[in-house]
């Protein structure tokens, strides 16, 4: 099984009804090597917190609902990442970028998500540039202060 990957079409059609069955066999092998699927899911508390943010204040969420959303979110992440990874593999690249994730979302028909994530990615990159420039400015300021105190 190791090294064999389902095609994109198989992944698109391959949502299994059995509980905790993943579509991409590479992921299954990796999960087995790392001690099981439990190590590869989003923390249930985080899933519950996100769900709660979108419900009325006094609404309750069952454990079963949280677990179901946890599984769905994990499957969705694996699905999109697998598509992006296939693209990177075809382009002989090893690193999946944010742009690859946006491309995969569009490729899989999640254009609305791709658009929203594209906007987020742009803002994130702008914030990172600001942070880098502030660090450079701080370093230059420190160097200037050291040079002016040590003639």
Q: How far apart are CA 102 and CA 111, in angstroms?
A: 8
For domain 1-109, give the fold.
Histone, subunit A (1.10.20)
Q: How far apart are CA 5 and CA 145, in angstroms?
A: 57
Encode pLDDT of 75-132 as tens digits. 999 999 999 999 999 999 999 999 999 999 999 999 999 999 999 999 999 999 999 9
Sequence spans of domains, the chain: 1-109, 111-151
Token readout for 10 is 């198989």
What is the pLDDT of the chain when averaged over all its residues? 80
> Under 8 Å CB-to-CB from 26, ≥6 apart: which residues?
2, 3, 4, 5
So what's the pLDDT on residue 18? 36
Name the pTM for this structure: 0.63
- Helix, strand or coil, per DSSP, at residue 144: helix
Q: How far apart are CA 41 and CA 31, in angstroms?
A: 10
Angle between helix axes 98-107 and 63-90 (nearest 10 degrees) is 100
79 to each of 6, 7, 10, 47, 121, how far by Cα in Å?
Answer: 11, 11, 11, 18, 20
Encode pLDDT of 4-62 as tens digits. 333 444 444 444 333 333 344 444 434 433 445 445 889 999 999 999 999 999 999 99
State in Å, rounded, how far the first CA of the chain is from the last one: 68
Question: Which is it for the CA torsion 27, 29, 33, 35, positive or negative?
Answer: positive
So what's the pLDDT on residue 147? 80
């Amino acid at each position: 099984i190791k090294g064999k990957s389902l095609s994109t079409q198989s992944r698109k059609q391959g949502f299994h009804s059995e509980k905790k069955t993943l579509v991409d066999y590479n992921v299954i092998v990796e999960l087995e090597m790392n001690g099981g699927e439990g190590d590869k899911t989003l923390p249930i508390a985080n899933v519950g917190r996100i769900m709660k943010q979108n419900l009325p204040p006094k609404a309750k969420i069952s454990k079963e609902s949280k677990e179901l959303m946890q599984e769905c979110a994990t499957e969705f992440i694996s699905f999109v990442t697998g598509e992006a990874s296939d693209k990177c593999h075809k382009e002989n690249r090893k690193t999946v970028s944010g742009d690859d994730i946006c491309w995969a979302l569009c490729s899989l028909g999640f254009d609305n998500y791709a658009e929203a994530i594209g906007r987020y990615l742009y803002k994130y990159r702008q914030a990172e540039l600001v942070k880098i420039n502030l660090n450079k400015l701080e370093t230059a300021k420190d160097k200037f202060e050291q040079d002016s105190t040590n003639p």
